[in-house]
Amino acid sequence: MSTPRSADYVVVGAGTAGCVVARRLLERTGATVVVVEAGGSPDGIASSTDPARWVENIGAPHDWAYSYGPEEHLDGRTLFLSRGKVLGGSGSTNALVWVRGHRADYDGWAAGGATGWSYDEVLPYFERAETVDVEQTTDLHPVARALIEAGVSYGMPYLDDINVAEPLGAGPITMDVAGGQRTSTWTGHLRPVRDDERLTLLTGVEVTGLCLRGERCTGVRVQTAEGDVEIRADREVVLCAGSINTPRLLLSSGIGPAAQLREVGVDPVLDLPGVGENLQEHPIIAGLCFEAAEPLPAPTHNLEGSMAFWHSAPEVAVPDLTYVSVQIPYVSAEVAATHPVPANAFVLAPGLMSVRSRGRLRLTGNGGLDIVANMLADPADLEAAVAGVEIGLELADQPAFRKLVTRRAAPGAATDRASLTAFVRQAAMPYFHPVGTCAMGTGDAAVVDPQLRVRGLEGLRVADASVMPAITSANTNAPTAMIAEKAADLIA
Ligand SMILES: Cc1cc2nc3c(=O)[nH]c(=O)nc-3n(C[C@H](O)[C@H](O)[C@H](O)COP(=O)(O)OP(=O)(O)OC[C@H]3O[C@@H](n4cnc5c(N)ncnc54)[C@H](O)[C@@H]3O)c2cc1C
């Protein structure tokens, strides 16, 4: 197919957000839409369609394969950062948990200046996004069942639906699955309309820059077999390239902190200090590892199947911790090096879900990216993560887990605060939830306004996980789909 030279809308990236935006623009407007996606189709890729094989997506050819670090507060470790490079984006490669987050997340966005994004205002968009099939897990693996039983005997409520407004407690999860196969915004939103004559879906094509004329974004530059081509957007360009590549495109097009851009040889076009700043990520502690007493059955669901939401301290109002029990010995390389991990083992993994630490991404002079999540930089985050491990050890000591376990492989015998703090710095891994690098708001640090328009430019919006002003207190895929649903309303 030859590359079209113009359309009403150009959507950059067909990931979780891009597939929704494109579908809704086709439905709501009579407009033509070009979607440019760097990756190809996930449809024949087993790791992308079979839920229990999702971990094989990490580092696969359809992964952008970024990294965080060195992370100063994690003993200088460098951490792999997976991002899907495929139709459906990270939603075609992720761990398939569909969870909206807590009412307070969105009320917090609205209170901080994101007018129109309170929980009550975004709820209809979650509901609309859920026309993609999602299912609750049943027939749980013994390790998944044990997490729920242990949570309840520890004192947590049983949580029969993780998508209530204020999730607290332990229960089965909702997954992006139908008939045993992964669903995504690709399968649910864009694939069904791919033959629409108003849609041009370019795959294997990377957007390399934005075309700017005065204060207007007029289109994008793409690299194709025909060479560098400009695609004009008669109405708008919508950036849906995700929390790493959306700010990367803005920065390389001269939109960002002017002094920083000059340092790496990019002529600033618009001084927008927030681009690439405010990066937030959830640390997952990988992990509290237990040798199983009996051979464990083959993994099921997404290797987890259940989840718990809890507080790191009684006075923490919104649950800031989650727990998953992973049906394989999922531990960081550093934990594996110091705590020999048996084959027949499982992991209890605390996740820190509300974070004060902020990272950032920058261009390097040679066209690369320097991304630092700064995980656990804020002492409060470190303290909450250590509390998460302490509570995790108490959960593991409940009868439901005790009967499954012969011995603990990690952490070691010493469980004083200093030892667990050292363990956390070695065990923390990213949940692969980067957000916030093009934050929505009204202050100087905001990159987009509450209508998702890039501040200071016409014809350019961002609609993806990068616009979250603050990370949600659960996984980030459903909130991204919600953002895309609302974006389509704002555009159309
Ligand atoms: C391994 C993994 C596990 C995860 N597990 C979960 C989970 O279980 N539950 C959950 O809620 N969240 C999970 N997440 C996070 C969640 O998937 C993301 O928050 C969400 O997909 C982000 O959506 P997005 O639209 O912002 O970006 P993406 O879905 O990443 O989409 C960006 C798209 O843009 C394309 N693109 C980027 N740059 C360009 C360019 N220059 N030109 C053309 N195309 C481009 C990319 O190839 C990609 O398709 C996980 C993520 C990963 C990677």
What is the pLDDT tens value at each position of the chain, 492 positions in all? 678 899 999 999 999 999 999 999 999 999 999 999 999 999 999 999 999 999 999 999 999 999 999 999 999 999 999 999 999 999 999 999 999 999 999 999 999 999 999 999 999 999 999 977 889 999 999 999 999 999 999 999 999 999 999 999 999 999 999 999 999 999 999 999 999 999 999 999 999 999 999 999 999 999 888 889 999 999 999 999 999 999 999 999 999 999 999 999 999 999 999 999 999 999 999 999 999 999 999 999 999 999 999 999 999 999 999 999 999 999 999 999 999 999 999 999 999 999 999 999 999 988 899 999 999 999 999 999 999 999 999 999 999 999 999 999 999 999 999 999 999 999 999 999 999 999 999 999 999 999 999 999 999 999 999 999 999 999 999 999 999 999 999 999
Rounded Cα distance, 166 and 100, in Å: 10
Rounded Cα distance, 209 and 255, in Å: 11
Q: Where are the domains of the chain?
A: 6-52+183-279+435-491, 138-172+282-430
Yes or no: say if 233 and 273 are a contact pair by the CB < 8 Å rule.
no
Rounded Cα distance, 363 and 259, in Å: 12
How far apart, in Å, do the first and last CA atoms of the chain sit?
Answer: 28
- Domain 138-172+282-430 adopts which CATH fold? Glucose Oxidase; domain 3 (3.30.560)
Q: Which of 24, 55, 90, 174 for a ligand 1 pocket mutation test, highest count of atoms within 8 Å of Cβ?
A: 90
The stretches of 155-241 forming alpha helices (DSSP H) are 185
Rounded Cα distance, 174 and 159, in Å: 12
Angle between helices 379-396 and 142-154 (to 10 degrees): 100
Q: What amino acid is encoded at 484 in this protein?
A: A
Distance 437 CA to ligand 1 centre (A): 14
Structure tokens at 330: 């999922």
Q: Is 193 in a helix, a strand, or coil?
A: helix
Rounded Cα distance, 464 and 450, in Å: 13
Distance 89 CA to ligand 1 centre (A): 4
What length is written for the chain?
492
The residue whose C-alpha atom lies closest to atom 12 belonging to ligand 1 is 477
Q: Is 461 in a helix, a strand, or coil?
A: strand
The rounded Cα 466 to chain-centroid distance in angstroms is 9
Distance 17 CA to ligand 1 centre (A): 8
CB atoms near residue 226 (< 10 Å):
9
Rounded Cα distance, 257 and 447, in Å: 11
The residue whose C-alpha atom lies closest to atom 3 belonging to ligand 1 is 94
Rounded Cα distance, 197 and 186, in Å: 18
Counting from 1 in the atom list of ligand 1, the atom nearest the Cα of 246 is 38
The residue whose C-alpha atom lies closest to atom 11 belonging to ligand 1 is 477
Rounded Cα distance, 20 and 22, in Å: 6
The CATH number of 6-52+183-279+435-491 is: 3.50.50.60
Q: Which residue has the tokens 């609205």?
A: 110
